[in-house]
A and B are shown apart, each in its own frame.
Chain A
Amino acid sequence: MTKKGESERALYLAVLSSGFGGIVGVLALIFFTPSIARIAVAFGPPEMFLLGIAGLTVIGALAGGSDLPKSFFSAAFGIVVSAIGVDNMTAGNRFNFGIPSLKMGFDIIAVVLGMFAISEMLLNVTIKEGKITNIKQKKISRIAVVKEIVQNKGMAIRSTLIGVLIGALPGVGATTASFVAYGNAKTLSKHPEEYGNGSGEGIIANECANNAVVGSCLIPLLSLGIPGSGTAAIMLGALTVHGIIPGPELFTKHATVAYTFMYGMLLTVVVMLVIGLFGVNLFKNVVKIDLSYIIPLTIAFSLMGAYANRNSVYDMTCAVIMAFVAVLMKKNSFPIAPMVLGVVLGPIIETNLRTSIVLAGAAKSNLVFFLLRRPICIVLLILVGLLLFFMVRVNKRLGLAKSRALASED
């Protein structure tokens, strides 16, 4: 969007959708914790496996008009990368080629920072002008942006709900929610060809979903004492150190703590929104900064982020390796996003598939019949079927749009 001079619109869209998604997520936490928690535990290993598969179908939408086989390759490559390291279920070493540190595997944070942030900077080195863009950035009123979101209210609400529900499932997380919401918005959109080329819808879907997760990922923690994410695990630790065990008791014995916590979160979302709204005037100047400052700073901060996650220099190495992999992939027009999705969903699909097979064995059945006996699984199977259908349709349309564009250029 910046390349079209619309950086301000993009920023406002991001801030406002984040605020909307964040507030709904926390409200869901405050009002619907028990019922959402019940839905979350109804998702056992077989359901999580199918959910992972449903998530993978998003790659069709992420393909962005480039050919589907290449997206599939990227996703498969991501899944293979996610298998590197010690197997969480049996503690066996996998694909570490005798290198001790490879036992730690490729952490998703290092992969994301390397493939999205650092690789982008490496590619930017080749820009001669020294700026991201020289196009004059247009001004836009906040009201106009709010109107744009209201126009897309159906999609925004859908994305937020996706964020709330996926966020409440332990161990799935914000990355998956964003991808699924984006893919869902794109497949059902009237203008899928605009996604990735300055479409506001993509930003709305993505930001609504990943901020809705912030509140809802605490639902399993507060109601059941199950930490759904790394952040939730740290909160659980902090609470237990003070003698508070999250769970049903939290709302009866320690109601003040529970509600202070929840309203505090609501406050942070509101404050973030306010800071965002007034900060846009500052943030938009980033595009004016010379790339010779942006590139080293972004790389340095990305490496710091990779290190901080597990206090490990090894993760920095991973980020750098993945950055070069991403550059190679981009230069050969392989899309990056499906690969990241593969790394995120790989472990979810794999562990839950293995657990499901063991469970099916205990039930004296095979996997297929075991899945078909579970109602939520049947719903998910239908969903996967529909998603595949839409994926093929969208890609056909994108392919047509592309060839038409090529024809008009001739």
Chain B
Amino acid sequence: MRKILTVCIIMIFALCQVFGQGGKDDGASYPSKNIEMIVPYGAGGGTDNAARIIAEALSTELGRQVNVVNRAGAGGEIGFEEIATAEPDGYTIGILGGPDHSYLVNIKETNYSLDDFDNLAVYNLSLPVLVARKGSFSNWDELVEYAKANPGSVTIGCSGGGPITEAAIAMTCGDFDATIVKFSGSADVSSSLLGGHIDLACLTPSYLPTLEANGCVPLIYFSAEKVPGYEDIPSLAELGFDVDMAHNPIVALPTGCPDEVRATLMAALDKIGSDPQIKEKFENLNTVYSYKTGEELQKYLSDMDALIADMVVQYPTLFV
């Protein structure tokens, strides 16, 4: 009996340690305990890689451990909901996988809205490219000419909200009709393009080395910026279209955090944003380093949301 009692007491103490850290605190002493960083996808993807770089740097800046927690499920929706409904005390930070969170709001009824997120910063952009399979098209004009003459016969593989929107943008800008083929992951899209089962795919540049080595041709960027080393690929913006799409991990808080907490976090994020070592880490991921905060970030994100909403209106059947 005494043994059980001892064990119980130790357990209770241990639990107090886990849950009682710091207790309630005002914004001034933030952070007084470890911080959870929610990533709405599984480990190993682009958003997760970025989150781990940010979490490590934030831990050093704030002097508290920032733990990455992967909450995969339902294409990110589960994680977005969790970030939106978390206690706004600064101890839950989210990494939104933009533009998936705004895409979902546009196409279905979600349990969160974009107003539930207080977007703090973006560090890197993964810039999508339209890639053609081996032996199909060698440039954008060739594609447009063929696709206009043969409506619906060109297939574009996509997975997730960003690429589907990009495929719609390609059709609008080129004024042609293609068949959009939806896949459940970008790895499947890439392997189908390599096998020649689809004609085109919207993919991020991390796939380009393999694709190019196997004869696939990158046709055009959907973004204004370009990935270093791949500057000779033209962009839709250069052709005169007002288009700027990118996949970007956004550091966000649930709306309503105390101002002091927000300021402390923002200062830490800014400091990380000026660190050249961090820049190099993001560039290693084959993404473009582009630190954005405040007004600039809000405008960038709301422009992208408007573009997605516009595409959803133009191609209602594509998004169901």
Chain A: residues with CB nearer than 8 A to chain B?
40-46, 85-86, 88-93, 100-101, 103-105, 170-171, 220, 224-228, 230, 233-238, 240-243, 245-249, 310-312, 347, 351, 354-355, 358-359, 361-364
Contacts and interface: CB of A to CB of B under 8 A. Distances in A.
B166 to A, nearest CB: 16
Contact of B181 (A43, A235, A236, A358): A358
A233 B43 contact: yes
Given A241-B49, A364-B153, 13 more contacts: A91-B103, A101-B78, A104-B74, A225-B206, A227-B44, A227-B187, A233-B43, A233-B45, A240-B284, A247-B209, A249-B213, A355-B181, A355-B182
B197 to A, nearest CB: 3
A1 B81 CA distance: 48
B184 interface: yes
A408 B154 CA distance: 66
Contacts of A171: 185, 187-188
Interface in B30-45: 42-45
Contacts of A358: 155, 179-182
B320 A92 contact: yes
Contacts of B315: none
B104 interface: yes
Task: Give the dominant DSSP class at B's interface.
Answer: mixed
A91 B49 contact: no
A312 B49 contact: no
B72 interface: yes
B44 A237 contact: yes
Interface in B226-277: none
B259 to A, nearest CB: 31
A237 B45 contact: yes
6 contacts: A43-B195, A240-B206, A241-B284, A249-B209, A311-B70, A355-B181
Contact of B75 (A86, A235, A245, A351): A86
A170 B188 contact: yes
A361 B184 contact: no
B190 interface: yes
Contact of B184 (A40, A89, A93, A242): A89
A290 B277 CA distance: 56
Nearest to B155: A362
Contacts of A245: 206, 209, 286
A224 B183 contact: no
Contact-size category for B: 35 or more
Contacts of B214: 224, 248
B72 to A, nearest CB: 5
Contacts of B73: 85-86, 103-105, 310, 312
Interface string B173-216: 00000011111110110111011111000000011011001100
Contacts of B154: 362
Interface of B: 42-45, 48-49, 52-53, 69-75, 77-78, 81, 103-104, 107-108, 111, 152-155, 161, 179-185, 187-188, 190-192, 194-198, 206-207, 209-210, 213-214, 281, 284-286, 319-320
B206 A45 contact: no
Which 9 interchain pairs have the tightest Cβ spacing?
A: A44-B197, A237-B44, A88-B184, A247-B210, A233-B44, A86-B74, A243-B284, A104-B73, A362-B179
Given A44-B197, A171-B188, A233-B42, A247 B213 contact: yes
B115 to A, nearest CB: 19
Contact of B213 (A234, A248, A363): A248
A241 B191 contact: no
Contact of A359 (B71, B74, B181, B285): B181
B250 to A, nearest CB: 19
B48 A237 contact: yes
A359 B181 CA distance: 7
A41 B43 contact: no
A337 B260 CA distance: 56
A225 B186 CA distance: 11
A42 B77 contact: no
Nearest to A40: B191
Contact of A170 (B78, B161, B187, B213): B187
Given A225-B209, A247-B209, A359-B197, A41 B81 contact: no
Nearest to A86: B74
A351 B78 contact: no
B49 A104 contact: no
A236 B70 CA distance: 16
A88 B77 CA distance: 11
B77 A103 contact: yes
Nearest to B153: A362
B52 A241 contact: yes
B77 A312 contact: no
Nearest to A101: B78
A104 B77 CA distance: 9
A90 B209 contact: no
A243 B70 CA distance: 22
A91 B107 contact: yes
A44 B192 contact: yes
A82 to B, nearest CB: 12
Given A225-B206, A237-B44, A42 B195 contact: yes
A225 B44 contact: no
Contact of B190 (A89, A103, A224, A235): A224
A362 B177 CA distance: 11
B42 A230 contact: yes
Contacts of B43: 230, 233-234, 237
